[in-house]
Amino acid sequence: MNEINTDSGQAATTYQNAGRIFKSFFEEIGNVIVGQNRVVEEIIISILCEGHALVESNPGLGKTLMISTISKAMNLKFSRIQCTPDLMPSDITGTNMIQETDNKKEFRFEPGPVFANIVLADEINRASPKTQSALLEAMQEKQVTVGNDTFLLDRPFFILATQNPIEMEGTYPLPEAQLDRFLLKILVDYPSFEEEMEIINRYTKSETPKITKGLDKSTLLDLQKLTRQVPISEELKQRVLSIVSMTRKDKEHIEYGASPRASIGLILAAKARALIQGRNFVSKEDIDYMAYPVLRHRLILTFEAERSGMTPDQAIEEIIKKVK
């Protein structure tokens, strides 16, 4: 605990109680969301790292409910954007409106849905490339430029984009440069038989489950700062670099490997997972566990690997086995 520099009394208290904070927070989420513990954990990791996440799953698995529940538990402003081919960039960022006051007409900026703490961009691959690119500045710079004016976004700021792997006709696949801006790609699977029975029992009653605030904004901002201060050994840094470097060297299965942004992301994600688990150090297991969501969307497999049925996760698994 002494290895982390807590520059305020509140930050020190937050760090000392981090394990209890996350335990009660996940319990609160569990009042509404059944199962999907790994998915919820990875979304929280992305928020702690001040990154963004891309979620891929079949329809009806509760992605919107999950992210809105997390925003309520964090007492954060939430907005949802339903991406469609005719969605314009100004529909996301906002636009200047003419307002008449005291017999004068002047432009007034009307903020779009991106001005929230947590933004759900549903089915992002249905939006046109022009609209997709409107999210780039918001994701990277945490600001929006409209005309000659720049507007800063409120912190914390997190974009969760979803895409449906089934219906790909008429969609606009995200380019590699934009995919690289997402810290994690999270895969959501179907619930188990027991979990789905619990979902049925819980959501066919007269009253739907409710959630109360789990943590406040100032605590979350402290946790984001503390995440970057979690110690990691030089040996584990070298392991991260070896894993990422090998994605560029494995020409048999991977045509294009991960960028240095992946190395930074993997270390930050491992730090966040250690903090969530109540540890003040990063372990080898944190690195290997987070390698999959950090790298799977950053790899382009060779034609031969795809033809043989290999997935990015299988390629990552082979690389982790080779790294000592």
Share of the chain above pLDDT 90, in %: 15
Q: Between the CA atoms of 180, 184, 188 and 189, what dihedral angle is there, to the nearest 10 degrees?
A: 90
35 neighbors 197 (Cβ within 8 angstroms): no
Compute the distance between CA of residue 201 and CA of residue 133 in angstroms, rounded to an integer: 42
Question: What total of structural domains would you count in the chain?
Answer: 2
Q: Give pLDDT tens digits for 100-141.
A: 777 777 777 778 888 888 888 888 888 888 888 777 778 877
250 with 103, same domain? Answer: no
Instruction: Say if residue 194 is in the same domain as residue 300.
Output: no
Domain-terminating residue out of 188, 220, 252: 220
In a domain, 1, yes or no: no
144 and 46 within one domain: yes
Residues 184 and 255 in one domain: no
- In a shared domain, residues 84 and 183: yes
Whether 185 is in a domain gets the answer yes
Domain closes at, from 220, 248, 279: 220
45, 123: one domain: yes
Which pLDDT does position 236 carry in this prediction? 93
Residue appearing with tokens 């509140």: 10
Q: Percent of the chain scored above 70 by pLDDT?
A: 92
pLDDT band at 1 (very low <50, low <70, confident <90, very high): very low
* Per-residue model confidence (pLDDT) at position 2: 42
Task: Identify whether 107 is part of a domain.
Answer: yes
Query: Taking the complete model, does pTM exceed 0.95, yes or no?
Result: no
Structure tokens at 299: 């790899």
Looking at the structure, do residues 246 and 138 belong to the same domain, yes or no? no
Average pLDDT, the chain: 83
Angle, to 10 degrees, between the axis of helix 37-48 and the axis of helix 260-276?
Answer: 110
Instruction: Domain of residue 246: give its range.
Output: 229-320
- Whether 47 and 185 map to the same domain: the answer is yes
- 235 and 216 in a single domain? The answer is no
**Same domain membership, residue 236 and residue 100:** no
Whichever domain contains 112, its CATH number is 3.40.50.300
Domain for residue 5, yes or no? no
Q: Is residue 239's pLDDT more than 60?
A: yes
